[in-house]
Amino acid sequence: MKKLFFLLIVICQLCLASCEEVDFNRMPTETQTGKGTFGCYVDGNLFVGPVYGFKVVNTAKYDTINKKLEIVIRGKINNKKFGDISLLTDNIEINKILPLSVGIYSLKDSISQECLNYMVKNGGNIIFTRFDTEKNIVSGRFNLTGICMDYHYNPVEGNVVQITDGRFDLKLVK
């Protein structure tokens, strides 16, 4: 029993040592290794993810049949508030500016906010710097302008968000 307990402690330490802690106070460097990083600026405020513990939220899923890629990340803004960013595209070409099919930004403590969701409005784009289905890596950059949407997904005029300097380096899930 003591040997089993010791073995479990060693395995836990190895797992924790292999996890790289996310620094929510600075933009992640741009890489193409599947490092699991995501960052952007939301109206000039730093958004960094993923926030671990939300396995369902933090994904880069590639639908091989329909050739669509969906990225959903939960992150922190200014190392405080939680938010989600979702990107969907059905065009994947390396080093080419492509339109986003869908781009959504949601602030999770939106009870106190004027807006629940911001959706892409004329100007969301994504550039893939790496898309490797053999090593399951997707990397790139993105920008979008989102307009506020109410509970029924009707636009709320005059309330927009600018998401700039977006970058990601994630593992693909098929």
Q: Ramachandran region of residue 116, left (φ > 0), alpha (ψ -120 to 50) or beta?
A: alpha
Q: What is the pTM of this model?
A: 0.81
pLDDT at site 79: 83
pLDDT band for 3, please (50, 70, 90 cuts).
very low
pLDDT one-digit tens code per residue, 77-103 = 888 888 899 999 988 999 999 999 889
Rounded Cα gap, residues 85 and 72, in angstroms:
6
| Predicted confidence (pLDDT) at residue 111 exceeds the cutoff of 60 | no
